[in-house]
Each structure stands twice: as structure tokens, then as C-alpha cells.
Amino acid sequence: MNSPINTQMTMRNWALLALLGLIWGGSFFFARVAVAHVPPFTLVLLRLGLAALALHIYIRGRYDIYPALKRRWPEFLLMGLINNAIPHAFIFLGQTHIGAGLAAILNATTPVWTVLIANMATDDEKLSASKISGCLLGLAGTIVLVGPSALAGLVGRSTTIPLWALVLPVLAAVSYGLAATYGKRFRNLAPPVTAAGQLTASTLMMLPIAALADTPWILPMPPMTAVLAILGLALVSTAYGYILYFRVMAEAGATNASLVTLLVPPSAILLGYLFLGETLQALDVAGMALIATGLTVLDGRILKLRYSA
């Protein structure tokens, strides 16, 4: 039986979560370059498949990975389904009618869903006022951060956004919440094994989808810039990113691991400001401040010090 998780975030956990937010925020850079030359389903397949291959090479049979894959393949299939295949597909389909900014806002509801699901499904991550308040503050910060550009894309539209295009990204967030809670059962495995198992499973799921939708074998060879972007997306944002994600989940619980969805938008904006010459607006700073406040409330230590003083 697994021991209870200490859901109090340590400084190391926060550092890993911040690094993960930076890495997943950087995935927008890679995807922006790659998707111009590679169809989306094929890009997802390459991202997952190359990441899975890299992790198998990195592990090289250590951590008893092959007995674990053989023994727990149904669990890895389910994890790959709800953590990769379903949310990726739902977000992609939703973005055929909504912009990336609005999709990011809807995806940032993931911690809220994770809190609610973990409260019902676990004994060690129960609902609290600080969890709900922190998640809602973080969501409000994401809306302030991304909202103006998302709403600007809606102005002047001649057609109404279909309801399903708004619902699918929310369902993707629910799926991520389910995956975060379900992933607790893998905390007795080394994080690279959990990452490799779910990526291998989701690669097998995406293979027939990409083959039917894109017929990738007839596509022209993408330019070197796109190849490098795909490698960055697969090796850094996915293979290494999921090792960090499952490590935080094993140490600090599902709710805390899901907070990375609040860190991705500010990370992407900061990277754009630092490396692409993009401007940083007052609303960007306000949104980041709200997100930081939400994370502080979730952490709880400053509030405890205040009331104990």
C-alpha cells in the first residue's frame, strides 16, 4: 500500500513546478515553428513517439521498466488516453473555432477540476478553502493575462462560436484533472517509467489516427528549423517535462502537479518578452501577480506565519 502524500509543497517542489511551467511554456515556441510544416495529428504523433523512444533509450531497461509495462499495461493505456490522446484531440478540435488564448483560459480550469475530483476520489487531498481560493485566483490571473487578446479575436466575427468548441477544451481540462488524480497510483514507480509507459501507450493510440488523417508517408520532408522544433518539443517539452510532472505528482499530489497549467501562459509570455522582443503590458504584470497570489494562497505557509505571529 502506498504511503500518504505530503501535499505541502517544498521549495524543491516549487522549483520543479516552475521549471516545468517554463518548459511547457516553451513548447509554444516549438509548436509555432513545427505546425507550419507538419499536420497537427502527425505532429502529436512525432512529439509523443520520439519522447517515448528517448525515454526508453534513457532508461535502458533500468527501474524494472519492462516488468512494470507488462504487468500494468491497462493502467498505462488509460493514463495515456486521459492524459494525452483525449485532451490533445479535444483542444485541437476546439481550436478549429476558437483561438489559442481562449483555449489557454479554458485549459487553466484544470486545477479547479483536479481539486474537485481529488476531493471525491482520494483520502489525502480533501477540499479546502485555500485550495479553491488559490485555484480561482490563479484562473482569474490567467483570464487577465490572456483574456484581452482572446476576446480581441472574437470581435468582428461573423459567425457564432459553436457551443461544442467551447465545451471540448473544458472537457480536456476535466480529462487532465482525472489523469492527475489517477496518476497517483503510479507514485511507487520511478517517474521516468511512468512517463515512458503513458507516452508509449498514447503513441500507439495516435499512430492509426495520424495515418488515417494525414497520410504522413507522402508528406514532404520539413525544413531543418521544423525538425529542430520537433526535437525540442519531443525531447525537452515532453520527455523531460513528463519526468518532472510525475516527480511533482509523486511527491506533492495531484492538485499541486496540476498547478503547472497556471504557470504555462505567463512562462510563454515571459519567454516572448525576453527572446522574441514582444512587449509586456500592464495587464500582463497584473495577471502574473494574481497567479502568484493564487499560488501563495495554495501554498499556505505565508498565511500560517501571519496568523501565528
User: Average pLDDT, stretch 102-116?
Assistant: 78
Q: What is the pLDDT of residue 305?
A: 46
pLDDT at 56: 94
pLDDT of residue 77: 94
Can you tell me the distance from the alpha carbon of 23 to that of 125, in angstroms, rounded to the nearest whole number? 26
Whether pLDDT at 37 is above 50: yes
Look at residue 291 and tell me whether its pLDDT is greater than 50.
Answer: yes
The DSSP code for 190 is -
- Mean pLDDT for the stretch of residues 214-220: 88
Quote the percentage of the chain above a pLDDT of 70. Answer: 83
> Residue 227: exposed, middle, or buried by beta-carbon count in 10 A (0-12, 13-18, 19+)?
middle
**H or E segment to which residue 176 belongs:** helix 163-182
Q: What is the mean pLDDT of the chain?
A: 81
Confidence band, pLDDT 50/70/90 cuts, at residue 296: confident
Q: Average pLDDT of 270-295?
A: 75
- The mean pLDDT value for 58-66 works out to 90
| pLDDT tens-digit readout, 128-187 | 777 778 778 877 877 777 666 555 555 555 566 777 877 888 898 899 889 988 988 888
CA atoms within 13 A on the CB side of 84: 29
Whether the per-residue pLDDT at 2 is higher than 80: the answer is no
Among residues of the chain, what percentage have pLDDT more than 90?
23
Q: What is the mean pLDDT of residues 213-226?
A: 89
Each residue of 42-60: pLDDT tens digit?
888 998 999 999 999 999 8
pLDDT band for 231, please (50, 70, 90 cuts).
very high
CA angle 154, 158, 159 (to 5 degrees): 85
Amino acid 307: pLDDT: 43
**pLDDT value at 69 more than 80:** yes
Which of 18-22, 242-246, 289-293 has the least mean pLDDT? 289-293
Task: Specify the amino acid at residue 204.
Answer: L
Residue of 247 and 283 predicted with greater confidence: 247
Burial of 197 (0-12, 13-18, 19+ CB in 10 A): buried
The yes-or-no verdict on residue 254 having pLDDT over 80 is no
